[in-house]
């Protein structure tokens, strides 16, 4: 069932529609069988629950293949859909992707416009044709300052979030437009507003003779801020993969990645494929004991 959605030819440069990803033939069936065997072996060890991707390298990919920049992003979208399905096959429950940074608004306005149009087009495609979403029972979140998006994109994103809110399968969180420092500032704003409302309720309660609570008066803690991050309810990423070999996080999930294994494979995002994902998980499995020990120790100290 899932096999029919996973393409065998991710080296194709032209854009693929998610519901056009099909596998046929004996050779492809054999490849699928081998892939399943490898996943079964991999699953003997610890598997990550949450993988975050910084999808870097779309423009360089387009340049290296002498195609238009926009086409590079389209191939990048195909790579995202393929990675989503591979992660589902491997039992990864949460995927977070850095689709658009607030800093990216500094790019050439034509490029930003092209990206926004691409995002709107892809979101509307997912709304109309729900093959991929339904097969993995995907819940889609859009994390970021959605107010900075143009209205059509924002409305499409909100519609997609609403239509998948009830799904209980794989959770895909798309960060756009996002940065970590903005997320932290937003959490502080929400916390202040929450405490203001609590104080108003306490004031109203005390004037009716009811006892006041202490919630609004205690110091703000790390746990309070955690509750107001976009990622509340989602476990911290086990692996953060930034493709194209770059070594920085570029203001992505800085709060949530304390014990995440940071990886920076050389392939550009459109080139990221199943074997790169397998390699990433193998690397994670080698460092898992250290990461887990640190996580447990940190929890004890809380």
Partner 1 sequence: MMVKLILGFLWYLIHLVISLFNLWSHLCNNLECYLISSELLPKFRNLRLEKLKYLGVVVDSREANNILKVKQLLWWLSTIGVKNVILYDVEGVLKKLLEPGIKASRDRNSRNSINVSANMEASHFSHGGMAVECLSGSDGKEGIAKAANLMYSDFCNCATHGSAKSDIIFTEADMACALRAAGSGGAEPDLLLVYGPVRCHLGFPAWRLRYTEIVHMGSLKSMKYGSIVKAFYRFSEKYQNYGK
Binding of partner 1 by 298 (CB under 8 A): yes
Q: Does the protein bind partner 1 through residue 181 (CB under 8 A)?
A: yes
Q: Which is nearer to partner 1, 137 or 264 (CB)?
A: 264
Residue placing its CB nearer to partner 1 in the complex, 50 or 261 = 261
Judge contact between 167 and 90, C-beta under 8 A. Answer: no
Residue for token digits 């999808």? 55
User: Which of 241, 206, 211, 209 minimizes the C-alpha distance to 92?
Assistant: 241
Q: Which stretch binds partner 1 (CB under 8 A): 16-24, 72-80, 146-154, 175-183?
A: 175-183
> How many positions of this chain bind partner 1 (CB under 8 A)?
52
From CA 298, how far away is CA 281, in angstroms rounded?
A: 23
Of 14-53, binders to partner 1 (CB under 8 A) are: 40-45
Q: Does the protein bind partner 1 through residue 188 (CB under 8 A)?
A: yes
Looking at 64-72, 165-173, 180-188, 204-212, which segment touches partner 1 (CB under 8 A)? 180-188
What is the nearest approach in angstroms of partner 1 to the Cβ of residue 60?
A: 11
Where do we find the tokens 């499995």? 285
Q: Which residues have C-beta within 8 Å of that of residue 146, sequence separation ≥ 6?
A: 154, 157, 158
| Shortest spacing between CB 134 and partner 1, in angstroms | 30
- Kindly list the distances between the CA atom of residue 72 and the CA atoms of 79, 123, 302, in Å, as whole numbers in the listed order: 11, 18, 45
- Residue 225 tokens, joined: 């801020």
Query: Where do we find the tokens 């940074």?
Result: 101
Contact stretch for partner 1 (CB under 8 A) within 5-13, 60-68, 117-125, 279-287: 279-287
Please, what sign has the CA dihedral across residues 135, 154, 246, 241? negative
Using rule CB under 8 A, residue 184 touches partner 1: yes
Give min distance, CB of 260 to partner 1, in A: 7
Supply 90's token pair: 């491997």
Task: Give the pair of three-digit tokens for residue 185.
Answer: 């500032």
Give the x/- contact pattern for partner 1 in 104-143, rule: CB under 8 A. Answer: x-xx------------------------------------
Count of beta carbons in the 10 Å neighbourhood of residue 187: 20
Whole-number minimum distance, CB 40 to partner 1, in Å?
A: 6
Tell me the closest approach of the beta carbon of residue 20 to partner 1, in angstroms: 33
Q: Which of residues 85-104 bind partner 1 (CB under 8 A)?
A: 101-104
167-to-130, 135, 233 alpha-carbon distances in Å: 12, 11, 15
Pattern 237-266, binding to partner 1, x per CB under 8 A?
----------xxxxx--xx-xxxxxxx---
Name the minimum Å distance from CB 124 to partner 1: 26
Catalytic residues: 56
What is the DSSP annotation of 5-50? Answer: GS-S-TT--S---GGG----HHHHHHHHHHHHHHHHHHTTS---SE
> Which residue lies nearer to partner 1 by CB, 110 or 294?
294
Dihedral sign (CA 80, 242, 91, 275): positive
Question: Rg of the chain's alpha carbons, rounded to an integer?
Answer: 21
Binding site for partner 1 (CB under 8 A): 40-45, 101-104, 106-107, 179-182, 184-185, 188-189, 191-192, 195-196, 219-222, 224-225, 247-251, 254-255, 257-263, 282, 285-287, 290-291, 294, 298
């Amino acid at each position: 069932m899932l096999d029919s959605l996973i393409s065998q030819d991710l080296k194709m440069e032209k854009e693929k529609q998610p519901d056009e990803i099909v596998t046929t033939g004996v050779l492809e069936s054999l490849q699928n069988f081998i892939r399943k065997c490898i996943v079964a072996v991999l699953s003997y060890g610890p598997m990550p629950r949450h993988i975050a991707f910084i999808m870097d390298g779309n423009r360089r990919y387009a340049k290296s293949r002498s195609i238009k920049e926009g086409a590079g992003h389209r191939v990048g979208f195909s790579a995202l859909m393929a990675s989503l399905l591979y992660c589902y096959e491997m039992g990864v429950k949460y995927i977070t992707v850095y689709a658009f940074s607030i800093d990216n608004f500094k790019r050439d306005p034509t490029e930003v416009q092209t990206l926004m149009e691409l995002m709107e087009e892809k979101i509307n495609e997912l709304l109309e044709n729900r093959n991929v979403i339904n097969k993995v029972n995907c819940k889609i979140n859009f994390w970021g300052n959605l107010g900075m998006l143009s209205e059509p994109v924002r409305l499409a994103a909100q519609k997609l979030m609403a239509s998948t809110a009830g799904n209980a399968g794989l959770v895909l969180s798309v960060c756009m437009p996002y940065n970590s420092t903005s997320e932290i500032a937003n959490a502080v704003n929400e916390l202040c507003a929450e405490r203001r409302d609590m104080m108003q309720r306490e004031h109203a309660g005390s004037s009716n003779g009811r006892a006041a609570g202490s919630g609004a008066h205690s110091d703000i803690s790390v746990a309070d801020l955690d509750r107001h991050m976009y990622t509340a309810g989602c476990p911290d990423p086990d692996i953060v993969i930034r493709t194209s070999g770059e070594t920085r996080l570029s203001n992505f999930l800085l709060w949530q990645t304390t014990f995440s294994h940071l990886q920076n494979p050389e392939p550009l995002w459109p080139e990221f494929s199943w074997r790169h994902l397998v390699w990433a998980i193998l690397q994670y499995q080698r460092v898992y004991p250290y990461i887990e020990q640190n996580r447990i120790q940190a929890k004890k100290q809380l």
